[in-house]
Amino acid sequence: MVSRKRRSRKKKNSGAARVLLAVFLLALLAAGAGAWLFVAPFGPQSETFVELAPGSSSAQIGRQLESAGVVQSRFAFDLFRLWKRGTLRAGEYRFDRPAPLAEVYARIARGDVFTKAVTVPEGASIFEIAARVEQAGLGTRQGFLDAAVQQVTLIADLDPAATSLEGYLFPDTYRFARKATPAQMVAAMVRRFRVAASQVGLKENMHRVVTIASLVERETAVDAERPLVASVFQNRLAHNMPLMSDPTVIYGQQLAGQWQGVIHQSDLTRDTAYNTYLHAGLPPGPVANPGIKSLRAAMDPAKTDYLYFVAAGANPQGRSLFARTLDEHNHNVAGYRHAVKKAGGR
């Protein structure tokens, strides 16, 4: 009788042990499956884009990521978000390799959206910016040029007479979403201009200042010379003398679609509204987009009696040559030509 009871107890104990073992194994499997879902890299082997719309729920985001093959399980993604209690950010994301779910989540939580960079150098014209936009794969050159004209209302309060955004697309490096429109791009550049104008205290005579600054920007890259170049333009305007600035002639040809990349003597006699050899006063508008240093120079030119200069960009000696009289200027031109010959030019 006693032995039967002992055998019964042993059977019960061994049955309980098997149940515990099964539970342990199931827990181990669940932990392994969880680790596999959360830790094991998963995702596309080639470039894949996922655009998350503003206001999307974590469940919707999880479905999008699963559908795109970025995560293995939408439910695992949602559980991970519940654990982290973070905020997910809208935008377009680029995935090009397998990654753990935690890494995918972290990228979306910090808003690591995909963008393309466009650098606008100081002194770039709308034509040069448009070419850079096209090179970056953000649209066509013509699309950007059209926007620079069509969106001129963006600066109606700054320059009511402006016919394009030339001069008001501030030089900087911009990062745009892959699907950014030309209108969005020019708007971002104008906003940056407004910030810069506020920084230098530019509030009055906007058209005049920006136009002169654009000429300064195109005529010299030497910071110390900017106020001197601005003074030459200021003095010539005061004497009602033609500005005789090559960049304005070039810009007139660009507008007409006739610029070939090299300026010839005959171009100086070609009549356009921007030819400052033929027409006294300022050109109709800016010929480039100036940076802060040129804006400051145009706002506060140096006090000089210079009326002429040979631009630094054309001088192998690397500096501009300023003159008060035509005789002095001719002497500087002769020196410039000698330097060009010595440097192996024509």
Least confident of 17-26, 61-70, 118-127, 224-233: 17-26
**Structural contact between residues 287 and 215, judged by C-beta atoms closer than 8 angstroms:** yes
In which domain, by residue range, is 87 found?
A: 48-110
Both ends of the chain: CA-CA distance in Å? 123
Look at residue 38 and tell me if it is in a domain.
Answer: no
CB count in 10 Å sphere of residue 90: 15
Same domain, 264 and 311: yes
Question: What is the DSSP secondary structure assignment for residue 313, as one 8-state letter?
Answer: G
The tokens of 222 are what? 């030497």
Mean pLDDT of the chain: 88
Cβ contact 282:245 at 8 Å: no
User: Do the domain assignments include residue 98?
Assistant: yes
pLDDT grade for 8, boundaries at 50, 70 and 90: low
Q: Which of 78, 93, 110 is the last residue of a domain?
A: 110
Count Cβ neighbours within 10 Å for each residue of 286-302 and write b for 16 or more, e otherwise.
bbbbbbbbbbbbbbebb
- 229/147 same-domain check: no
User: Using one digit for the tens of pLDDT, what is the confidence trace for 221-264?
Assistant: 899 999 999 999 999 999 999 999 999 999 999 999 989 888 88
Q: Which domain-ending residue is among 57, 87, 110?
A: 110
Same domain? 136 vs 188: yes
Task: Let me know whether 138 and 194 are in one domain.
Answer: yes
Measured between alpha carbons, how far is 112 from 258 in angstroms, rounded to an integer? 43
Domain limit, last residue, from 146, 166, 200? 200
What Å distances lie between residue 217 and 39, 207, 209, 245, 292, CA to CA?
54, 15, 12, 12, 10
Residues 38, 80: contact at Cβ < 8 Å? yes
Close Cβ partners of 153 (under 8 Å, ≥ 6 residues apart): none
Pairing of strands 308-310, 321-323: antiparallel
Contact predicate 287/214, CB 8 Å: yes
**Which range, of 36-45, 67-76, 276-285, averages the lowest pLDDT?**
36-45
338 within some domain = yes
Are residues 167 and 99 part of one domain?
no
Which phi and psi angles does 172 have, rounded to 5°? -175, 175
The pTM (predicted TM-score) of the whole model is 0.81
Residue 322 and residue 258 share a domain: yes
Cα Rg, the chain, nearest whole Å? 33
Q: Does residue 17 carry a pLDDT above 70?
A: no
HSE (CB half, 13 Å, CA atoms) of 62? 16
336 shares a domain with 224: yes
* pLDDT for residue 317: 53
Query: What pLDDT digit, counting tens, does each position of 22-50 carry?
Result: 444 454 444 444 555 667 888 788 899 99
- Number of structural domains in the chain: 3
pLDDT(69) > 90: yes
Cβ pair 287, 166 in contact under 8 A? yes
| 35 assigned to some structural domain | no
* Shared domain check, 130 and 104: no
Identify whether residues 65 and 126 lie together within a single domain: no
Is 276 inside a domain boundary? yes
More confident residue, 8 or 229: 229
Do 179 and 292 fall within a single domain?
Answer: no
CATH of the domain at 92: 3.30.1490.480
Does residue 43 belong to any structural domain of this protein? no
Q: Are 73 and 61 in contact (CB under 8 A)?
A: no
Mean pLDDT of 312-322: 67
Q: Are residues 235 and 147 in the same domain?
A: no
Predicted pLDDT of residue 145: 98
Task: Annotate 202-267 with three-state secondary structure.
Answer: CCCCHHHHHHHHHHHHHHCCCHHHHHHHHHHHHHHHHCCCCCCCHHHHHHHHHHCCCCCCCCCHHH
Residue 297 lies in a domain: yes
Residue 275, in any domain of the structure = yes
Q: How many residues does the chain have?
A: 346
Q: Residue 339 has which token pair?
A: 């330097």
Phi first, then psi: what are they for 135, rounded to 5°? Answer: -60, -30
Q: Are both 58 and 162 inside the same structural domain?
A: no
pLDDT at 7: 55
